[in-house]
Amino acid sequence: MALILVGCEKPLLTEEEEEDEDVDGNLTVTVWQSGHEPFPAMTRATSLADYNRLNYAIYTTEGTRVKQVNQTRDNSGFGSATFQLEPATYQVVVVAHNSNGNPTMTNLSKIQFKNSQGFSDTSLYYGEVEVTEEHKNIEARLERIVSLCRFIITDDYPEDVTQMRFQYKGGSGAFDAKTGYGSVNSTQTLFFDVTEGQKQFDLYTFLHDDEGTLHLQATAYDDAYNIIHEREFDVPMLYNQITRFSGPFFTGNGSGSLDITIVIDTDWSGIQDITF
């Protein structure tokens, strides 16, 4: 059995595969707190229980994934996972998020969410550990690694608008677990039903560096998917910060200067307000 658990004897897991925990294993990873203050409204996560999903993955020093456990909030052991590993040095990754599915974690440098799952507030733990025959505990402190464009429509919807689509480039739907930065050039797409009058939309991405620009196309549709109104924007973004991007979407002409104000908020490293 010990040989079966050696990383080189089990080089690959499929993208959707997860393993049951090794209850009597020799490594336990426990998420003891998030590394940030309570989130503001719409992204609030005041405790571990406010995350929908946790994904744990163990990799060899060469980057081969040998173990993965996926947990949802209703799991009794949510927040802790135990693994049986052959003595060696391993890379440990924990991802906390509120997406509608589990990311693909085959590649340590390309942990990826899909458009169909949606993108959400995401926190990460990465570390290396030397595993021996004796049981070891890791307390994983997670840090937020996303940036948020909060798109706010300040004018009224035309009567026939039922759906908004946001398609944006310049960020990434995948990240490198060692750095927390985006690792691919993605086209991210999100649809929202606006029949209840929703006017605030949270668009998450992983930046490639400490700052970047999203090229954003916002489109309003009727219930037959006819385009009612469409505009494009270039939105400046900062790592681990909220950009509140607001203005009259349907009646505005898109011209004029940008007023940018940096407002420090302890929930994130900062917020910048931009009007269009």
Q: What is the DSSP string of 189-205?
A: EEEEE-TT---EEEEEE
In terms of domains, do 117 and 161 share one? no
Q: Is the pLDDT of residue 10 over 80?
A: no
**Residue 155 and residue 242 share a domain:** yes
Range of the domain at 134: 7-144
Number of helical H runs and strand E runs in the chain: 0, 18
Among 129-133, 214-218, 257-261, name the one with the lowest average pLDDT. 257-261
pLDDT, tens only, 202-226? 999 999 999 999 999 999 999 999 9
Neighbours of 169 (CB within 10 A): 15
Kindly report the CATH number assigned to the domain that includes residue 264. 2.60.40
Position 1 in a domain: no
Task: Note whether 166 and 69 are same-domain residues.
Answer: no
Please indicate, yes or no, whether the overall pTM of this predicted structure exceeds 0.85: no
Structure-block tokens of residue 99: 């997406």
